[in-house]
Amino acid sequence: MLYWDHAATTPPYKEVVETMAEIMNQHYGNPSALHQAGEDAAKLLKRAREVCAGTLGVQSSEIVFTSGATEGNNIAIKGVAMHYRSRGQHIITTKTEHPSVYECCRQLESLGWEITYIPVDEYGVVDPLQVASVIRKDTVLVSIMHVNNETGAVQPLNEIGKLVKEKNSRTLFHVDGVQGFGKLSVSLKDWKVDLYTLSAHKFKGPKGAGILYVQQGIKLFPLLAGGSQENGQRPGTENVASAVAVAKAMRLAQERQDTFYDKIGKLRSLLLNEIRSIPDFVLNSSEKGAPHIVHFSYPGLKPEVLVHTLEELGMLVSTKSACSSRNSEPSRVLQAMGKDKEIAASGIRISMGWEHTDDDMNRLVIALRQSADKLRPLSAKRG
Ligand code: PMP
């Protein structure tokens, strides 16, 4: 079987798994404890925080370890909304955010916040000027993702960050960086980002682990009440093994980013061309997207049929994103890009990882062609 679902999750690095096992076996102390075992764990946690901070070019006091990006996005958005409530209750986001941002905004909306959902163009990209045009005095937060998890569309964060701060220097800028880190370069300072979310399992780290960067001086209303761990932002006994593994995976991902971009970018270009040449498929990803994600539709066919046909041929791909693959609604992201319901309901995502070779791509392309031929008679449009 060839695994083509790296945007859903990645197989962890061997070193990451070994490190976790070693720490769980040998350094199991509670970092808050005053004895030797506690101090030992606290040191490991401190070092892990420094490595994560170093990777992003920020201070280690600005890193909060989380259980992943769903939690990170919720802590960031609700934490800002609630803490800065008296300053204003207006938030800006886009129509194509991951559910952990989108639904979070919807919840706040139901509680009285005003949310502006910025549209995207046919390639899934927002216009920075449009973001700037809706910033007001009471806008407390702008939350925009780096790379879209369904289509791989990349947002112009540099321009957006600059315009946000020009329009209202007190408006905070949050970026869901999950699908961009390790694939594209990240510059929190240049983008003027105040809060940044990552999830380790998207770059070969452990599942249920991530970080949230919170710029010095920003206050968040803590969603969980409890102890003072993680600067009080995220109480609960720290998962030291996971924090060390996140740090290791972050460092490896960053070191290998350029090679990833070159190697996987080439495979992606090849795949884009092949998909364009198969008449049944409609390509939804643009040339300018992130190097690891290709999204297309087979209009007239339920996407799960193509997923299962490809699986029989040894290729594991997904419909939409993992978080919404079990709901059969047309994709909100594709509809926001102006795609009709048929296209939006028949999307397939292929996402690549480090391990893939030219030979793997050749095998995938053959399987795609065979599947298209086999399923043509079933496709409602043609059949
Ligand atoms: N944001 C984006 C863009 C994602 O792709 C994902 C994972 N599908 C998340 C947030 C949520 O991450 P996690 O699985 O760590 O909760």
Q: How far is the CA of 199 from the centre of ligand 1 (A)?
A: 6
pLDDT digits (tens, 9 = 90+) for 6-48: 999 999 999 999 999 999 999 999 999 999 999 999 999 999 9
- Whole-angstrom distance, CA of residue 93 vs CA of residue 230: 27
pLDDT value of position 312:
98
Looking at the structure, do residues 111 and 203 belong to the same domain, yes or no?
Answer: yes
Q: Are residue 262 and residue 326 in the same domain, yes or no? A: yes
Residues 6+ apart with CB under 8 A from 78: 104, 107, 108, 221, 223
Here the CATH number for the domain that contains residue 347 is 3.90.1150.10
pLDDT for res 377: 86
Q: What is the DSSP letter of 12?
A: P
Q: Are residues 159 and 267 in the same domain?
A: no
Ligand 1 centroid – CA 148 distance (Å): 10
pLDDT tier for residue 383 given thresholds of 50, 70 and 90: very low
207 and 290 in a common domain: no
In this structure, the answer to whether residues 98 and 211 fall within a common structural domain is yes
Q: Is the pLDDT of residue 327 over 80?
A: no
230 closest CA partner among 243, 245, 246, 249: 243
**pLDDT per position as a tens digit, 308-321:** 999 999 999 999 65
**What pLDDT digit, counting tens, does each position of 213-239 carry?**
999 999 999 999 999 999 999 999 999
For residues 172-176, give the mean pLDDT: 99
- List, in order, residues 6 or more apart from 341 with CB less than 8 Å away: 330, 335
- Is pLDDT at 104 greater than 90 in this prediction? yes
The residue segments making up the domain with residue 346 are 2-7+257-380
Give yes or no: residues 100 and 87 share one domain. Answer: yes
171-187 in b/e form (b: 16+ CB < 10 A) is bbbbbbbbbbbbbbebe
Q: What is the CATH number of the domain that holds 172?
A: 3.40.640.10
| Phi and psi torsions of 198, nearest 5° | -135, 155
The Cα 294–Cα 269 span in angstroms is 9
204 and 328, same domain (yes or no): no
Which run of H or E residues covers position 347?
Answer: strand 347-351
- Which amino acid, residue 42? A
How many CB atoms within 10 Å of residue 229?
Answer: 19
pTM: 0.96
Residue 48 one-letter amino acid:
A
Whether 169 and 196 map to the same domain: the answer is yes
**Do 212 and 283 lie in a common domain?**
no
Cβ proximity of 143 and 110 under 8 Å: no
Residue-averaged pLDDT of the chain: 96
Task: For residues 321 and 348, give the distance between their C-alpha atoms in angstroms, rounded to a whole number.
Answer: 9
Write the CB contacts of 181 (distance below 8 Å, at least 6 apart in sequence): 146, 198, 202, 203, 250, 253
The residue from 230, 252, 274 where one domain ends is 252
Q: Give the pLDDT score at 381.
A: 54
Q: Which of 219, 252, 285 is the last residue of a domain?
A: 252
pLDDT score for 322? 54
Pocket probe mutation, ligand 1, options 77, 97, 98, max atoms within 8 Å of Cβ? 98
- Do residues 69 and 199 lie in contact, with contact meaning Cβ atoms separated by under 8 Å? yes
> In the chain, how many domains are there?
2
Neighbours of 205 (CB within 10 A): 27
**Is 211's C-beta closer than 6 angstroms to any atom of ligand 1?**
no
Q: Which atom of ligand 1 is nearest to the CA of 8?
A: 8
